[in-house]
C-alpha cells in the first residue's frame, strides 16, 4: 500500500506587529543562478512573530510563536526547541517553551535565531496602575454544611478597573474552630477544600497581600438536617412584591378545568405553598391520582405504564409530580392512596436502577438501561430527579443512601472534571442541564448541601451560553442534535437554563453576566405557561455586560469567538474535543460563521428533523474511502487551543484521534485564524492513496463561481489558496433529500488538495 504523505502542516499567514518594529535578517539560503538547488525543496526566507504580545505590563506572561515563510508562499511554525532567544536587558525573560514573562518596566530588544535566519522583536513593559480593592470568597457564605461533607471555596481579587480574577497562590487561611478544616493548597482550578469536621460554628479568614475576608460556616449533624422535599427556594416570594400574576393565572386556568399545554401538578403545589389555598393542592391530588390510576390500568392489562416510555426518559417528571403532591398533601391523602402511590413510585424508581430485572405487576419488562451510568446525559438527570424527589418525599433511606454514596458523588466528580461549562450533547440536548441545576436546588433545600458549589460547571455554563449566543442575541451555535426545533433560535428553555444557573450562583461574576444576557436577549418574556416556574427563583439583581471575546469550553470541546459585543459583530464557533455522546454529531473540526445572519452553518438547521449527525452536513474536512464517507470514531478525544494577538485569534486543532481506528487516516490538523472580516482555514493530513480528502462548507445562499476562481455566497467570499485551482462542486440539498430539505440550501466541495488545503473566507 502506498501512503501519501504531505509536508508539515502550514500555519496562518505571517502576522506583523505595527506598533513595534520587527527586523528580519536573512543570513543566507536565498541563492540564485547556478546556486539554485536541484530539487524542489522550498527555501526558508524569513521569520515572523505569529503569536504573542509585545506590549505588556509587569507580571504579564505571553506565549510566543514564530513562523518561517518559504519562497513557495507556504509557511510553517517553528518549534520552540529549535529557537534560541537573546535579550538585551532583563525587562523580559523567555523560557525554552517560548513563554515570555514581563519582569520589570522598560523596553528591550530580543533576537530569535533559527538556522540561518534571525528575527529582532522589541518588547515594552509598563508598570501596572491597577490595584486590588478587596478580596471575596465564592461562595460568599454563610455556609451550612453537614458533618463529613466538603465545600470548595475560591477566593477572588476585585481590582480598581472592575476586573475580577481568581487568586491562585499566596493565600493564608485560618479558621477559629475545629468544626471545620481548610486545605492549605488549592485542590484544583476551583479553590481550596473546606471540610465539615464536627458540629459547631466557625469563622474562616483568608489573607492575601495585606487584604482579608471572612467566611461564616455552620456545621450540623446529619440528624439535624431536614432531609425533606423542601420548597424553601420559594420563601423569598412571601415577603416580595414580585408580580406573580402570570403564574397565578396559569394555575387558576388549570384549576378551572382548562389547563394550558404542559401544565404540571407541581405548579399547583408551588402556589399552594405560597398561598395555603387548598384548591391548588386538591387539583394536584386529582391529577396525580389520575396518573396512578392510568398506570394501574396498564399494569392490570399486563402492559407497562407510560412512566417507562422511551427508556424511562420522563420518569423524573412523572415521579416528581407525585412526590411533591405526596409531600404537601398531608391528611388530604387517604392511607389507601398513599399506599398505592408509594407502590407505583417505588416500582418506577427501582426499575430505573435495575433495568435487567425491571417488572410491573409481576410481569418482567427489562429495558436497555440507557444512560444509567452516564452522569452527563439528559436521561440521567431524569433518573436522578425521580430518585431524589421520591426518596425525600418518602424519607426513604434506601434511595437517599444510593444518592449520597453512589449517584451524587459520581455526578459531582464528572462535572468537577468538566472545564468550561456546557454539554458534550451539544446545544440542543444540552439545554436539559436546566434539569441538572434543578437537582442541585432540590438537594440544597433538602439537605443544605450545595452540589453546584462542588464544581465551577454551573457558573461556567452561564458564560458558555452567553458566548454561544450570536451577536444579534437571538440565535445560538447549532451544535449536535436540534430535535425540538431545527433552527437555533433562543426560546423559553434557554431562559430557564440561565435562570436556574444564575439563581444557584447569586453574587458571582458569572451570574451578573447571566443577568445581562437575560435582560438583553430576544426572549422578552416566557412564552409558554409550563416554563414560568423558573421565574419564581431568586435572581441576581445586578447586570454586568461581558467583555471577553473568546470562550473555550474544554469539557464540551466547543470554542466561540467574536469581533466585538456589538450586534453587527462577526462570530465563529468551532468544535474539537471529546466525542462520546449519542446526540453529538460527527462534526469534529467543524465551524459555523455568522454576521447579521448565517454565512456558513451546518445544513442540519435547515432540515425537517434537526437530527442529522453525518459529517456530510458539517463544515469540516471529509474523508472518502471506496466511495463511502469514513465515520468519525465515537469515544475519541480531539483537542483544541487558541492564541490571541491583537485582533487575530488563531485556533489550532489536533483531530487525528477522531479517525484513530482507521489505518487509512493517520493524521489530521486544522488551524483557523479569525478576524472581523476574514477567516482563514488550514488543513493538513496524512492518508493512504485510496482515501480522498474533501474540503466542504454548507451555505444558505447558492454559491457563484467568479472569474478569478473565488466563490461568492451571499455576503461570504470563498477563495481557495491551496490548491489554487481545486475541483469545485456545488450540491443543492433539495436534490439530496427533498423530504428533509424543503428549500434550496447548498454545499460547496473542494477536492484535489492532496490532503492539504488553505481556504480564505472574507466577510463582505
d(CA 434, CA 299): 32
What pLDDT score was predicted for residue 672? 99
Helix (H) or strand (E) holding 150: strand 150-159
Write the CB contacts of 301 (distance below 8 Å, at least 6 apart in sequence).
none
Residue 15 has pLDDT above 60, yes or no: no
Write the CB contacts of 64 (distance below 8 Å, at least 6 apart in sequence).
49, 51, 52, 94, 98, 99, 100
Tell me: domain 3-126, CATH 2.60.40.1080, correct? yes
- The domains of the chain are located at 3-126, 132-224, 232-417, 449-559, 570-763
d(CA 494, CA 432): 9
Q: Report in angstroms the alpha-carbon separations of 437 from 151, 240, 324.
A: 17, 24, 18
Torsion of CA 624, 629, 634, 640, to 10 degrees: 50
Helix (H) or strand (E) holding 92: strand 92-94
Beta bridge partners of 155: 137
Tell me: domain 570-763, CATH 3.90.79.10, correct? no
Q: Report in angstroms the alpha-carbon separations of 174 from 180, 208, 324, 623.
A: 10, 12, 42, 59
Write the CB contacts of 8 (distance below 8 Å, at least 6 apart in sequence).
76, 684
Fold classification of 132-224 is: Immunoglobulin-like (2.60.40)
What pLDDT score was predicted for residue 3? 33
Burial 412-424 (b: 16+ CB within 10 A, else e): bebbbebbbbbbb
d(CA 73, CA 675): 21
pLDDT digits (tens, 9 = 90+) for 628-660: 999 999 999 999 999 999 999 999 999 999 999
Using pLDDT thresholds of 50, 70 and 90, give the confidence band for residue 34. Answer: very low
CA-wise closest residue to 670 among 72, 115, 80, 12: 12
Please say whether the beta carbons of 82 and 88 come within 8 A.
no
What pLDDT score was predicted for residue 710? 97
What pLDDT score was predicted for residue 153? 82
d(CA 701, CA 703): 6
pLDDT digits (tens, 9 = 90+) for 333-344: 999 999 999 999
CA-wise closest residue to 141 among 149, 151, 131, 126: 151
d(CA 608, CA 485): 9
Please say whether the beta carbons of 333 and 382 come within 8 A.
no
Residue 515 has pLDDT above 50, yes or no: yes
pLDDT digits (tens, 9 = 90+) for 122-160: 988 888 777 888 998 876 677 767 687 677 788 888 887
Greatest Cα-to-Cα distance within the chain, rounded to the nearest angstrom: 104
Residue 23 has pLDDT above 80, yes or no: no
570-763 shares the fold of 3-126? no
Burial 585-611 (b: 16+ CB within 10 A, else e): bbbbbbbbbbbeebbbbbbbbbbeebe
Please tell me whether residue 742 adopts helix, strand or coil conformation. coil
Using pLDDT thresholds of 50, 70 and 90, give the confidence band for residue 185. Answer: low
What pLDDT score was predicted for residue 190? 53
Cis peptide before 427 (omega within 30 of 0): no
Using pLDDT thresholds of 50, 70 and 90, give the confidence band for residue 105. Answer: confident
What is the DSSP-derived secondary structure letter of residue 405? I
Take residue 465 and report the three cell numbers written for it: 451560553
pLDDT digits (tens, 9 = 90+) for 496-511: 999 999 999 999 999 9
What pLDDT score was predicted for residue 20? 37
What pLDDT score was predicted for residue 240? 85
User: Please, where are the H alpha helices in 12-167?
Assistant: none
Residue 37 has pLDDT above 80, yes or no: no
Residue 467 has pLDDT above 70, yes or no: yes
What pLDDT score was predicted for residue 223? 46
What pLDDT score was predicted for residue 399? 94
Helix (H) or strand (E) holding 344: helix 335-353
What pLDDT score was predicted for residue 543? 96
Mean pLDDT of the residues in the chain: 90
pTM strictly above 0.85: no
Helix (H) or strand (E) holding 66: strand 65-70
pLDDT digits (tens, 9 = 90+) for 277-335: 999 999 999 999 999 999 999 999 999 999 999 999 999 999 999 999 999 999 999 99
Amino acid at each position: 500500500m502506498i501512503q501519501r504523505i504531505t509536508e508539515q502542516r502550514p500555519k496562518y499567514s505571517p502576522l506583523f506587529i505595527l506598533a513595534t518594529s520587527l527586523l528580519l535578517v536573512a543570513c543566507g539560503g536565498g541563492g540564485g543562478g547556478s546556486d539554485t538547488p536541484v530539487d524542489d525543496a522550498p527555501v526558508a526566507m524569513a521569520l515572523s512573530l505569529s503569536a504573542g504580545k509585545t506590549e505588556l505590563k509587569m507580571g504579564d506572561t505571553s506565549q510566543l510563536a514564530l513562523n518561517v515563510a518559504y519562497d513557495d508562499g507556504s509557511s510553517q511554525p517553528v518549534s520552540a526547541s529549535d529557537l534560541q532567544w537573546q535579550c538585551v536587558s532583563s525587562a523580559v525573560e523567555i523560557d525554552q517553551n517560548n513563554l515570555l514573562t514581563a519582569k520589570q518596566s522598560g523596553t528591550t530588544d530580543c533576537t530569535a535565531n533559527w538556522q540561518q535566519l534571525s528575527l529582532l522583536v522589541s518588547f515594552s513593559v509598563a508598570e501596572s496602575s491597577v490595584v486590588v480593592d478587596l478580596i471575596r470568597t465564592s461562595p460568599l457564605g454563610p455556609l451550612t454544611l453537614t458533618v463529613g461533607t466538603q465545600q470548595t471555596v475560591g477566593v477572588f481579587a476585585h481590582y480598581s478597573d472592575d476586573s475580577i480574577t481568581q487568586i491562585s497562590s499566596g493565600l493564608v487561611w485560618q479558621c477559629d474552630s475545629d468544626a471545620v478544616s481548610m486545605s492549605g493548597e488549592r485542590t484544583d482550578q476551583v479553590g481550596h477544600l473546606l471540610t465539615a469536621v464536627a458540629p459547631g460554628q466557625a469563622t474562616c479568614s483568608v489573607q492575601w497581600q495585606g487584604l482579608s475576608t471572612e467566611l461564616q460556616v455552620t456545621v450540623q449533624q446529619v440528624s439535624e438536617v431536614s432531609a425533606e422535599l423542601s420548597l424553601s427556594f420559594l420563601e423569598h416570594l412571601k415577603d416580595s412584591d414580585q408580580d406573580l400574576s402570570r403564574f397565578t393565572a396559569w394555575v387558576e386556568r388549570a384549576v378551572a378545568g382548562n389547563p394550558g399545554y404542559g401544565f404540571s401538578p407541581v405548579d399547583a403545589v408551588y402556589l399552594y405553598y405560597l398561598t395555603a389555598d387548598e384548591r391548588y393542592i386538591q387539583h394536584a391530588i386529582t391529577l396525580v391520582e389520575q396518573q396512578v390510576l392510568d398506570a394501574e390500568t396498564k399494569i392490570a392489562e399486563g402492559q407497562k405504564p407510560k412512566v417507562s416510555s422511551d427508556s424511562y426518559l420522563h420518569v423524573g417528571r412523572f415521579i416528581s409530580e407525585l412526590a411533591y403532591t405526596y409531600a404537601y398533601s398531608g391528611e388530604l391523602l387517604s392511607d389507601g392512596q398513599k399506599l398505592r402511590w408509594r407502590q407505583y413510585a417505588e416500582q418506577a424508581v427501582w426499575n430505573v436502577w435495575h433495568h435487567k430485572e425491571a417488572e410491573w405487576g409481576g410481569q418482567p419488562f427489562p429495558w436497555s438501561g440507557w444512560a444509567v451510568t452516564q452522569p452527563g446525559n439528559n436521561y440521567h438527570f431524569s433518573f436522578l430527579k425521580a430518585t431524589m424527589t421520591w426518596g425525600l418525599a418518602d424519607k426513604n433511606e434506601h434511595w437517599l443512601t444510593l444518592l449520597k454514596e453512589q449517584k451524587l458523588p459520581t455526578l459531582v466528580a464528572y462535572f468537577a472534571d468538566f472545564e468550561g461549562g456546557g454539554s458534550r450533547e451539544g446545544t440542543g440536548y444540552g439545554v436539559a442541564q436546566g434539569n441538572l441545576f434543578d437537582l442541585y436546588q432540590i438537594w440544597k433545600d433538602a439537605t443544605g448541601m450545595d452540589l453546584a458549589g462542588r464544581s465551577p460547571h454551573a457558573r461556567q455554563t452561564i458564560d458558555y451560553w452567553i458566548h454561544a449566543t450570536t451577536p444579534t442575541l437571538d440565535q445560538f451555535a447549532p451544535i449536535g442534535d436540534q430535535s425540538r426545533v431545527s433552527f437555533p433560535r433562543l426560546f423559553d428553555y434557554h431562559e430557564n437554563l440561565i435562570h436556574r444557573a444564575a439563581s444557584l450562583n447569586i453574587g458571582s461574576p458569572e451570574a451578573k453576566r447571566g443577568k445581562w444576557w437575560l435582560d438583553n436577549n430576544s426572549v422578552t418574556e416566557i412564552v409558554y405557561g409550563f416554563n414560568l416556574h423558573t421565574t419564581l427563583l431568586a435572581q441576581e439583581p445586578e447586570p454586568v455586560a461581558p467583555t471577553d471575546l473568546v470562550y473555550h469550553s474544554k469539557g464540551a470541546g466547543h470554542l466561540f469567538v467574536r469581533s466585538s459585543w456589538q450586534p453587527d459583530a462577526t462570530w465563529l464557533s468551532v468544535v474539537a474535543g471529546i466525542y462520546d455522546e449519542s446526540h453529538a454529531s460527527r462534526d469534529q473540526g467543524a465551524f459555523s460563521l455568522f454576521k447579521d445572519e448565517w454565512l456558513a452553518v451546518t445544513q442540519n438547521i435547515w432540515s425537517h428533523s434537526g437530527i442529522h449527525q453525518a459529517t456530510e452536513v458539517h463544515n469540516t474536512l471529509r474523508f472518502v474511502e471506496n466511495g463511502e464517507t469514513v465515520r468519525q470514531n465515537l469515544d475519541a478525544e480531539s483537542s483544541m487551543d487558541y492564541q490571541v494577538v491583537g485582533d487575530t485569534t488563531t485556533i489550532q486543532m489536533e483531530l487525528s484521534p477522531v479517525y484513530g481506528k482507521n489505518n487509512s487516516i493517520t493524521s489530521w490538523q486544522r488551524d483557523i485564524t479569525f478576524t472581523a472580516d476574514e477567516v482563514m482555514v488550514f488543513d493538513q493530513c496524512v492518508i493512504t492513496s485510496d482515501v480522498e480528502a474533501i474540503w466542504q462548507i454548507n451555505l444558505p445562499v447558492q454559491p457563484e463561481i467568479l472569474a478569478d476562481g473565488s466563490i461568492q455566497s451571499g455576503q461570504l467570499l470563498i477563495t481557495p489558496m491551496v490548491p489554487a485551482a481545486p475541483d469545485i462542486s456545488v450540491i443543492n440539498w433539495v436534490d439530496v433529500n427533498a423530504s428533509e430539505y424543503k428549500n434550496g440550501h447548498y454545499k460547496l466541495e473542494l477536492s484535489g488538495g492532496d490532503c492539504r488545503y488553505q481556504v480564505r473566507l472574507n466577510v463582505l
